[in-house]
A = this chain, B = another copy of it.
């Protein structure tokens, strides 16, 4: 990463929104995308926030994103529905669908919405936090373009298909946001630039040997599934659920496109308080968190935290000090104006 600059959240949001408006984006979509892209960085997911915005603008300029499109209902029954995202903004479509899942959950206790033909949703966690913000549990996942070989193979026919499970808690939502590859290609590229090895096996080299060398994995393109055969299997199951329920594209079909678009996603919300009183749940969650955090540290630099715990402090710091943004990316974004 080139040297980063710190940008105030309000300034970032204003600049991003202006860039979109100047490209003819409708005002509500421009405001939503600018808000969420900024928030992703504000809350510490730099790879899927402002640093990715220049790439989004290039996608718009290439005609990949239909900036005005809204999801269109395909079919609905009770607490389930599927929508066609009509290649609109990934963020707008995904937010709409988690909202819809929560509406269904309000009526039925649980809601499940499948979405096809959408674009990259940026930070997966966003839609988990969306559910938590309404006091509901959330579960969502997306497929991607092929970027990972399955177990026993050399060619990439699986996506890294991020999965989110989110549970609201007043002291800090519990939120897992995990891709099905152990490391992203982005983190391997960063490690090469900084001349570092990965701490754990990142994939196979060209000879089929397990390696922590990021350059070797970038060369072989044999990135490691999370948990070896397990992440490969789960990636495929997530793809089947998303593709089938949305009547959309699976990873294999997306692989025939000229870029990463036409994605399929699933959004589930559970209005658990209908069957589990909030005060009882609060006690259950607090006891579990306290027990986990009382773990005896292993003496490494790996901090004992629960998933999602650090988000608030990162957010507070970035609100106070400004959001770190790749200096080169920020210059490119400003050049769009």
The quantity of this chain's copies bound in the complex is 2
Chain A, 231-253, contact with B by CB distance < 8 Å: what is the 0/1 string?
10110111111011111001111
Q: A271 — which chain B residues lie within 8 A by C-beta? A: 77, 80
Taking CB as reference atom, which chain B residue is nearest A163?
A: B234
Contact segment of A45-53, A148-156, A315-323: A148-156
Q: B233–A307 contact, CB under 8 A?
A: yes
Taking CB as reference atom, which chain B residue is nearest A167?
A: B240
Q: Which residues of A contact B (CB under 8 A)?
A: 74-82, 107-112, 114, 137, 149-155, 157-158, 163, 165-167, 174-176, 178, 182, 200-201, 204, 208, 210, 222, 226-231, 233-234, 236-241, 243-247, 250-253, 255, 268, 270-272, 274-276, 280-281, 284-285, 287-288, 291-292, 294-300, 302-307
Q: Could you say which of B74, B154, B233, B288 contacts A243, with CB atoms under 8 Å apart?
A: B288
21 contacts between A and B (CB under 8 A): A77-B109, A78-B79, A78-B107, A78-B109, A79-B108, A80-B110, A80-B274, A82-B276, A153-B295, A154-B297, A165-B237, A167-B241, A176-B237, A208-B299, A208-B300, A239-B288, A244-B276, A245-B276, A250-B291, A251-B288, A252-B287
Asked if A178 meets B276 with Cβ closer than 8 Å, knowing A77-B109, A79-B79, the reply is no
- A305–B233 Cα gap in the complex (Å)? 9
Q: Could you say which of B74, B165, B302 contacts A238, with CB atoms under 8 Å apart?
A: B165
Q: B298–A154 contact, CB under 8 A?
A: yes
Q: A298–B237 contact, CB under 8 A?
A: no
Q: A152–B110 contact, CB under 8 A?
A: no
Taking CB as reference atom, which chain B residue is nearest A229?
A: B302
A96 to chain B: closest CB distance in Å? Answer: 17
- A306–B90 Cα gap in the complex (Å)? 29
Q: A165 — which chain B residues lie within 8 A by C-beta? A: 234, 237-238, 241
Asked if A153 meets B244 with Cβ closer than 8 Å, knowing A78-B110, A230-B178, A274-B77, the reply is no
Q: A280 — which chain B residues lie within 8 A by C-beta? A: 247
Q: Could you say which of B109, B149, B151 contacts A80, with CB atoms under 8 Å apart?
A: B109
A117 to chain B: closest CB distance in Å? Answer: 14
- A163–B274 Cα gap in the complex (Å)? 24
Asked if A270 meets B307 with Cβ closer than 8 Å, knowing A149-B298, A252-B292, the reply is no
Q: A79–B253 contact, CB under 8 A?
A: no
Q: A288 — which chain B residues lie within 8 A by C-beta? A: 236, 239-240, 243, 250-252
Q: A284–B80 contact, CB under 8 A?
A: no
Taking CB as reference atom, which chain B residue is nearest A166?
A: B237
